[in-house]
Amino acid sequence: MEAVAGESAEPGNLSGVRHIVLILSGKGGVGKSTISTELALALRHAGKKVGILDVDLCGPSIPCMLRAQGRAVHQCDSGWVPVFVDQEQKVSLMSVGFLLEKPDEAVVWRGPKKNALIKQFVSDVAWGQLDYLVVDTPPGTSDEHMAAVEALRPYSPLGAIVVTTPQAVSVGDVRRELTFCRKTGLRVIGIVENMSGFVCPHCTECTNVFSRGGGEELARHAGVPFLGSVPLDPKLTRSLEEGRDFIQEFPHSPAFQALSAIAQKVLEAPAQLS
């Protein structure tokens, strides 16, 4: 990492962040990083200044999704300066991916070292003024989750979005994630069902490749809001692989409509607390 000479100090840690949203799931492969990335972009297009904190230490994929791989993390008097991923500097990102010498380097760390880095990410990143900080977490309910929740607790997080896919196996794992939220006192903003159907690239008809409705049924059973279903869309997949702004480029996609509706519900969440 490079130190920035003469860099003016920005507000350290999270003092300038208005709302913190954690993205959780009970298992891997459900698309947490996809939802984190697209939620951040949707909030940005709603006029908000957004940060993304990628604490999925063993699978830091968001730098690739935002075409920010290989960028250097600088330092100022307040700590690490996050990487801006757009020219307007409305979306900033901090990820362990920026700290690895090689992009294919594995993070082979035991729990205490991982937990220490998560706490350092929370305390030592100079986010400045943000409307929303989206925190992409690892899968499961491990000690890394406890470290993230405990480090963020003094800043009163807005809550968690829990991501599932329609299959019964995924829904069962996510049910345990809801138990984790209850035990740690973390408010659940709502459940998102990802990969809910496949959008045909030719006619845009949506076909249920797996099953459908598992996330909505779980939300109803758990008494938490259901934020929406996001279908599999080849345009969304291609945008993530190429680091493009799906929200800006494909406003007529069913996935865009779903993601925009989810972002709108997140924007309305603070008012529901008052």
**Any known ligand binding at 16?**
no
C-alpha distance across the termini of the chain, in Å: 42
Q: Which of 101, 71, 102 is nearest to 84 (CA)?
A: 71
According to the annotation, is 26 in a ligand binding site?
yes
Is 64 known as a binding-site position?
no
Q: At what angle do helices 214-222 and 168-184 cross, to 10 degrees?
A: 30
Q: Torsion over CA of 252, 253, 258 and 260, rounded to 10 degrees?
A: -50
- CA dist., res. 35 & res. 40, Å (int): 8
Confirm or deny that 25 is annotated as ligand binding.
Answer: no
Query: Is 30 labelled as part of a ligand binding site?
Result: yes
Distance CA 85, CA 244 (A): 11
Residue labelled with tokens 């929303």: 132
Tell me whether residue 203 is annotated as binding: yes
**140 among annotated binding-site residues:** no
Consult the annotation and say whether 119 binds a ligand.
no
Query: What distance in Å separates the CA atoms of residue 181 and residue 173, rounded to the nearest whole number?
Result: 13
The C-alpha atoms of residue 161 and residue 82 are separated, in whole angstroms, by: 23
Report residue 212 as tokens. Answer: 């459908």
H helices, E strands: number in the chain: 9, 12
Annotated binding-site members for [4Fe-4S] cluster: 200, 203
Annotated binding-site members: 26-33, 200, 203
Annotated binding-site members for ATP: 26-33
